[in-house]
Amino acid sequence: MSAINPREFLDELIFCLKEEDIVKANALLQFITNPEINANFQKRALHELSKASERLVFPILEYLTTLQIPNPEIQESLYELILDKAYGNHDRIIKYIIKDDKRNRITYIKVAGDLILADAAPILEKLLEKSKDRDIIIQTAASLGNIRLQSSLPALIKLVESYNDTEIQKAGIDAIAQIGGKPAVDYLTNSITGDNDTDGLKIKALGEIQDQHALQSLSSLLESTNTNIRDAAIDHLIEIGGKAVPILTAATSDAGSDFMVHLITTLGYIKDPKALPVILDIMKTKPDDPNVRQAAYESMERIPSTKSAIALAVGIHDPVEAVRMSAARAMDKNISKVLVAGLKNIVREGNEDALNAVGALIDSEADNIFNFLLQEESFIRLSVKHVTTKADPKTRDHFLNILKKKNHQALADKIEQMVPKETKGTESKTAQIFVVDDSKMMLKLYENKLTGFGYTPTSFMFPEEALRQIYASKPDLVITDLNMPKMNGLQLAQGIRKKYSSIEIPIIMITTQSDVVESEKNSKMDKSQMGKAGINKVLHKPFSNEELQATIAKLLKK
């Protein structure tokens, strides 16, 4: 075969178009994909086509769409030419949608969507019902989404419900989200059951609609008893950010404890200062549930403000250790003259409450606050008592390093002398326990407790990292929170069970809400479901030291 001269190719094409010889033009254009015809000449050929009449150019374009054009840039240029010529030629577009050639049909189905051709919607809806071709179905759904007619919703809903093909279902759900409106939102929300593989796609679709009704529906999913649904909703609300804050704050007005925890936690992760007054108002009501109080203090840590001083000062006196630690950590991020003055008055009392407050500050590593308290004699005395009798070794070492950095070497030496030295070779091997929680304060709490029980804890804030380490180095037991972003406790447990049985690695699930219970009566997650997830035991916050210690001891004996 002789070489093709690009210049001659172009001149001959121009001649064919001038003579309106479609047959010869198509015969010539079969060489447009030849590597000897570079991109510049290909573009010039398309430019010449753009100048031809629609009567002439449409049959040529119909032929070109059947060719395999490897250059994405030329493909895009060809499609732009088709769009340009198709504009205003609605009958011709519909004609090509109905024709049998697959490549042409898909092209013009896409054109109908991009041109928002409402006249084509009834044809596309029928095609959605009758076609068995996967590619045509997916493109048809996408185009109906672009056209955005409410009348297309039933056809798209039927598509989602009729197929067990993830890509087809995704195309249908995406189209429903594009159409939007109350019927679309209601369908997406009401069809999220926890049993469907499409739940995640539907929650994502609600997050994309983002009108008030969609945001309210997404917010309501935080009340779901299904962990995967709830966590997915939280992730999308955090991604939406400040736009979701008014809906979330409004929902706190009549929320139960479990719902309130998730609302406050989500507001904290969004980090919008407009949420802070609502969180402070919630704390003024003195919630009975310590999980609500802890969620509020953790959110105050993420939304720093001097307005938090009074609430945080109250938090350092909380009867629940985890809440005190969260309040202490928030104090470290919200330091003010008022807060420092309040803390000094607290530690000067020198009583058991003051000791608990100092312990919370040290255990939570509230390092900035120490700048203001290390001159207080009462704080020194209470900190020595806590570090030498209660703090775990990691916390003690951290506090000693802080003392040395702040020129309190003598005090650090004194504390080190008071701590009993372990004799080399006499250490006994202790059980290795992995703890997984997205709250740094809860991890510190577990470290203190587990060390006090005689175990060796290893902490992870990210379940994905914990799972990799569990596969690499098997622990004796795993303690995991239920509600965590990206990967929740159930998903982590299922990942562990792919390699280790419930006897090889027992798993304790910690949760703040009552939707995971072991009672067969009125249970939202019964024993069979927990067994399926690979959970050995569920503990609810707040739990006592005795309860945690007894549970661990029982599971490690198996």
User: Is residue 129 a part of any domain in this protein?
Assistant: no
Return the DSSP state at 4.
P
Taking the C-alpha atoms of residue 277 and residue 335, their distance in angstroms, rounded to an integer, is 18
Q: Are residues 535 and 495 in the same domain?
A: yes
Supply the pLDDT for residue 520.
Answer: 41
Q: Are residues 373 and 446 in the same domain?
A: no
DSSP track, 400-444? HHHHHHTT-HHHHHHHHHHSPPPPTT-PPP--EEEEE-S-HHHHH
User: Is residue 142 a part of any domain in this protein?
Assistant: no
Supply the pLDDT for residue 533.
Answer: 75
279 with 299: CB under 8 angstroms?
yes
User: Is residue 452 a part of any domain in this protein?
Assistant: yes
Domain count, the chain: 2
Continuous H helices in 30-152: 39-50, 54-64, 72-86, 90-98, 102-114, 121-130, 134-147
Structure tokens belonging to residue 476: 């004796």
User: Is residue 141 a part of any domain in this protein?
Assistant: no
Q: Are residues 394 and 437 in the same domain?
A: no
149 with 121: CB under 8 angstroms?
yes
Structure tokens belonging to residue 141: 């759904």
Q: Are residues 465 and 388 in the same domain?
A: no
Residue 474: burial class (beta carbons within 10 Å; 0-12, 13-18, 19+): middle
Residue segments in the chain with a per-residue pLDDT below the cut of 70: 1-3, 100, 421-429, 513-531, 558
Pairing of strands 507-511, 456-460: unpaired
Residue 361 sits in which domain range? Answer: 304-419
Q: Are residues 438 and 354 in the same domain?
A: no
User: Is residue 7 a part of any domain in this protein?
Assistant: no
Taking the C-alpha atoms of residue 55 and residue 362, their distance in angstroms, rounded to an integer, is 82
Q: Phi-psi category of 287—alpha, beta or left, where left has phi over 0 and alpha has psi -120 to 50? A: beta
Residue 478 backbone phi and psi in degrees, to 5: -125, 130
Pairing of strands 507-511, 537-540: parallel
Q: Are residues 399 and 326 in the same domain?
A: yes
Distance, first Cα to last Cα, the chain: 79
271 three-state secondary structure: coil
Supply the pLDDT for residue 139.
Answer: 96
What are the strands of the beta sheet with 432-436, ordered from one edge?
Answer: 456-460, 432-436, 477-481, 507-511, 537-540
Token pair 């092209």 is found at: 107
Which is nearest to 539 in space by CA: 555, 522, 516, 521?
Answer: 516
Q: Are residues 346 and 382 in the same domain?
A: yes
CA distances from 477 to 89, 427, 457 (A): 69, 20, 10
User: Is residue 86 a part of any domain in this protein?
Assistant: no
Q: Are residues 397 and 449 in the same domain?
A: no
Single residue among 389, 419, 449 that ends a domain in this structure: 419
Q: Are residues 398 and 441 in the same domain?
A: no
Residue 1: burial class (beta carbons within 10 Å; 0-12, 13-18, 19+): exposed
Single residue among 361, 386, 419 that ends a domain in this structure: 419
Q: Are residues 392 and 446 in the same domain?
A: no
Taking the C-alpha atoms of residue 58 and residue 433, their distance in angstroms, rounded to an integer, is 70
Taking the C-alpha atoms of residue 340 and residue 372, their distance in angstroms, rounded to an integer, is 7
Looking up residue 532, the CATH number of its domain turns out to be: 3.40.50.2300
Q: Are residues 415 and 436 in the same domain?
A: no
Cα 82 from chain centroid (whole Å): 40
Single residue among 384, 419, 454 that ends a domain in this structure: 419
User: Is residue 316 a part of any domain in this protein?
Assistant: yes
Taking the C-alpha atoms of residue 503 and residue 556, their distance in angstroms, rounded to an integer, is 9
Helix or strand (DSSP H, E) at 322: helix 321-333
User: Is residue 133 a part of any domain in this protein?
Assistant: no
Q: Are residues 358 and 467 in the same domain?
A: no
217 three-state secondary structure: helix
Which is nearest to 489 in space by CA: 461, 469, 460, 509?
Answer: 509
